[in-house]
Amino acid sequence: MDTATSGLALLENRWEDAHAATLSPEALLLYRSNLLGSDKRVTNYGGGNTSSKLPMTDPLTGEIVTVLWVKGSGGDIGSMKLDGFSTLYMDKLLQAKALYRGPEQEDAMVGLYPHLTFNLNPRATSIDTPLHGLIAWPHVDHVHPDAIIAIAASADSRRLTREIFGGTIGWVPWRRPGFELGLWLQEFVDENPEARGVVLEAHGLFTWGRTQKECYETTIDTINHATAWLARQSAGKPAFKGEKVAALPPDARRAVAAAIMPAIRGLIATPAGDGKVATRIGHFDDSPAVLDFVCSQALSELAPLGTSCPDHFLRTKIAPLVIAFDPAREQASDILPRLAPAIAAYREGYAAYYQRCRRPDSPAMRDPNAVVYLIPGVGMVTFAADRATARIAAEFYTNAINVMRGASAVSEYRGLPEQEAFDIEYWLLEEAKLQRMGRPKPLAGKVALITGGAGGIGMATARRLADEGAAIVICDIDREVLASSEAALRHSHGPDAAVGLWVDVTDEQAVVSLYADAAVAFGGIDICVSNAGIASAAAIEDTSLALWNRNLSILSTGYFLVTREAFRLLKQQGTGGSLVLVASKNAMVASPGASAYCVAKASEVHLSRCLALEGAPHGIRSNVVNPDAVLRGSRIWEGEWGDQRAASNRTSREDLERVYIERSMLKRGVYPEDIAEGIAFFASEARSGKSTGNILNVDAGHAPAFSR
Ligand code: NAD
């Protein structure tokens, strides 16, 4: 167990004068913002904002006017570009003060901001704009450092702020962001011209400066000062009152996560009409900071208090759900029966909180399920609409853990009062922000596992399903191609879009482990594409037993193992699912000189029919896609198979594709993307939710393969 402030290392000053000297004033603001936001100890993802008041030429009058450049709504100061700033005429913003009618009407001020826009900038203005505009300093930073929020969320944060900073950094009581808070800050600055910043109770830090560099350095110095003070105060004290249970070893932690994540995923899935189910994506975190907290004496007392900084609880909900578990005496199987009642109780508690706090015009209650699940000895599981949001929720809760660690070492930690939390969560302006986010992609919240995912058809399928928003597990026996395929998917679809897992589909234990790893990576699966394969050709009398067995073990036994384990996981989740078996034209039509391959492929089709029968009562569908002659991108055709097929068609390898096109009824080539399209159809509940036990040939037309 670490001491109370471990993890809060001092920040280095990364300002480079030589680089800064080359930048325009607005580029310098972006430089300052990116420097600050790229370190998560300064501010959490998407949290905080920066501003500068800069002289600019008015496009209408040609005169020099002062323009407030302030991070706009949404975005992240660490990764934003110049177009992430909104720009407002400062003189008009100050004039708008005259229109302010008091706290009850402060939301109405937001409707005025578009009228203050400089140079037709389309970036939506943030609700934090007046917090920057009304502070009479040229440059202002607002960030959410764990060390400062630890002080801001302490029971006696005002006294602590004074003790730590003297008069240089002031203190303002909690008030949600908006025009009123802007006026409070303006008053503070006017009355305290010597102050260089202010701690906002339960929320974060504002700092300012005459130059960009001074502002940046004040922010860094202030955070470091608080960090060092916290370290001194808590030296030698155990974090969170010491350890209550010991953390399990890493493999055992992952095993528990693998066992419970699909169960939680199933329990928090919500009906989406006409038999469809909305599922979420999970993320597992057992980092040292998380383990310290979930193994501690203080877990049961601190977790229900919830988080303090509004950014934290908007992402993590009002409080986490702690799942009872004694890692010294119990197994994962002891947790499973506890999940349903614990999740139901959380939902009831959330609904009661909504009823207690709702205002007459509050938006309807949102999903009442927890986002954060804490398991003593094991770690933290988070669930959200997509992987990035689940991972970011875990990052935010880790921020909250750091805050609780610091605050409870020097004082008593306080969450935000319930009504204040509700008013932020159900703030009409937050609702408007959610509405602006647009419709999710068709497969958002779904996880697709694709065997042979590093191959031609597998990779085209991964891309196609990722385009539709599914989280992707590609698995393959070829480690090298798997690694490059995973990297390519992450490059094209984002770092959270895909994981690559090694598997040999003929190895029972490897397949079992594959699904456990997939459960830890994303919380479970919804779509299984059984596709890993080989091809071989040999006349019957030349077919060795080894060749026969190799075909059967990969194409028949491999498909059995992969779909059986998928079936078990889908049944445990209880949210239905789609199995898509990539067989072959040769499953329908015997080809001369390829008996082992044809027989193995035919068995896949019959396996799919059996799975369709057994799966139907559980909403698990099973369908077959039959490719034929997909030469481009396929590694099967690069090997012997290509030579043999060329020989048996009495042509060269180069000419083979033309021969197949000529043979097809439609006289067209078949490509990996065409097979992926068929797979995507069966993967989608919306498009094929009422089809099971079917066969789709994607072969440009081949009459002998017609299914009947
Ligand atoms: P491919 O060789 O490009 O991809 C197949 C992938 O499966 C490869 O990455 C390979 O490493 C992997 N694999 C092989 N054995 C494995 C094992 N034991 N465990 C895990 N992974 C393994 O070939 P493709 O054309 O993309 O073929 C995909 C599927 O489509 C196969 O089942 C194949 O039989 C079927 N198919 C292809 C064609 C075609 O013309 N390309 C025609 C009919 C059927």
The ligand 1 atom nearest the CA atom of 457: 26
CA distance 209 to 207: 7
Give the strand pairing for 64-71 and 49-57. Answer: antiparallel
Could you tell me if the CB of 320 is within 6 A of ligand 1? no
What is the rounded distance in angstroms from the CA atom of residue 303 to the CA atom of residue 136?
A: 39
- Centroid of ligand 1 to alpha carbon of 510 (angstroms): 18
Which amino acid, one-letter code, is at 355? Q
Domain 447-705, CATH: 3.40.50.720
Report how far ligand 1's centroid is from the alpha carbon of 22 (Å).
53
SS3 labels along 633-666: CCCCCCCHHHHHHHHHCCCCHHHHHHHHHHHCCC
Instruction: Report how far ligand 1's centroid is from the alpha carbon of 461 (Å).
Output: 12
pLDDT of residue 463: 98
Cα separation of 136 and 62, whole Å? 25
476 lines ligand 1 (CB under 6 A): yes
pLDDT of residue 106: 85
Read out DSSP for 577-614? EEEEEE--GGGTS--TTBHHHHHHHHHHHHHHHHHHHH
Predicted pLDDT of residue 5: 44
Residue 256 or residue 317, greater confidence: 256
Percentage of the chain exceeding pLDDT 70 = 98
Is ligand 1 within 6 A of the CB of residue 529? no
- Tens-place pLDDT, residues 693-707: 999 999 999 999 998
Choosing from 552, 556, 634, 673 the residue with most ligand 1 atoms within 8 A of its CB, the one to mutate for a pocket test is 634
628 lines ligand 1 (CB under 6 A): yes
What's the rounded mean pLDDT across residues 176-205? 95
pLDDT band of 274, cuts 50, 70, 90: confident
More confident residue, 259 or 421: 259
One-letter amino acid for residue 254 of the chain: R
Range with the lowest mean pLDDT among 73-77, 199-203, 335-339, 686-690?
Answer: 73-77
Are 250 and 376 spatial neighbours (Cβ–Cβ below 8 Å)?
no
Tokens of 694: 């079917």
Q: Tell me, in angstroms, the distance from the centre of ligand 1 to residue 330's CA.
A: 42
Instruction: Identify the three-state secondary structure at position 387.
Output: helix
pLDDT for the residue 6 = 46
pLDDT for the residue numbered 8: 58
In sequence order, the β-bridge partners of residue 501 are 475
Asked if residue 218 has pLDDT above 90, the reply is yes
Would you call 307 exposed, middle or buried from its count of C-beta atoms within 10 A (0-12, 13-18, 19+)?
Answer: buried
627 lines ligand 1 (CB under 6 A): yes
Provide the pLDDT confidence category of residue 4 given band limits of 50, 70 and 90: very low
Query: Distance between CA 14 and CA 274 in Å, rounded?
Result: 55
User: Mean of the per-residue pLDDT values for the chain?
Assistant: 94
How much is the pLDDT for 1?
Answer: 40
Which atom of ligand 1 has the smallest separation from the CA of 458? 26
How far CA 426 is from CA of 342, 347, 416, 457, in Å, comes to: 25, 17, 15, 45
Tokens 């204040």 belong to 420
- Residue 77: Cβ-neighbour burial (10 angstroms; 0-12, 13-18, 19+): buried
- What is the whole-number distance in angstroms between the Cα of residue 573 and the centre of ligand 1? 29
Helical axes 212-234 vs 25-37, angle rounded to 10°:
20
Q: Would you identify the CATH topology of the domain 17-234?
A: L-fuculose-1-phosphate Aldolase (3.40.225)
CB 632 within 8 A of CB 459: no
Cβ-in-10-Å burial (0-12, 13-18, 19+) of 189 comes to buried
Residues of each domain in the chain carrying CATH 3.40.50.720? 447-705
**Which pLDDT tens digit goes with each residue over 52-105?**
999 999 999 999 999 999 999 888 999 999 999 999 999 999 999 999 999 888
Q: Ligand 1, closest atom to CA 554?
A: 18
Counted residue by residue, the chain has a size of 708
Q: Which of 530, 636, 661, 695 to mutate to test the pocket of ligand 1 (most atoms within 8 A of CB)?
A: 636
What pLDDT is stored for residue 247 in this prediction?
Answer: 98
pLDDT tens-digit readout, 428-476: 777 776 676 778 899 999 999 999 999 999 999 999 999 999 999 999 9
666 pLDDT exceeds 60?
yes
597 is catalytic: yes
Q: Is 368 in the pocket of ligand 1 (CB under 6 A)?
A: no
Pinpoint the alpha helices (H) of 235-358: 250-267, 288-294, 299-302, 310-316, 332-357
Q: Between 54 and 318, name the one with better pLDDT.
A: 54
**pLDDT recorded at residue 167:** 87
**What value does the mean pLDDT take over residues 223-249?**
94
Ligand 1, atom 31: nearest CA belongs to which residue?
533
Annotated catalytic residue, options 515, 597, 660, 671: 597
- Write the burial class of residue 512 (CB in 10 Å: 0-12 exposed, 13-18 middle, 19+ buried): middle
- Among residues 339, 335, 340, 304, which one has the least CA distance to residue 319? 304
**Has residue 3 got a pLDDT over 50?**
no
CATH number for the domain formed by residue range(s) 241-436: 3.40.225
User: CA 365 to CA 369: how far, in whole Å?
Assistant: 11
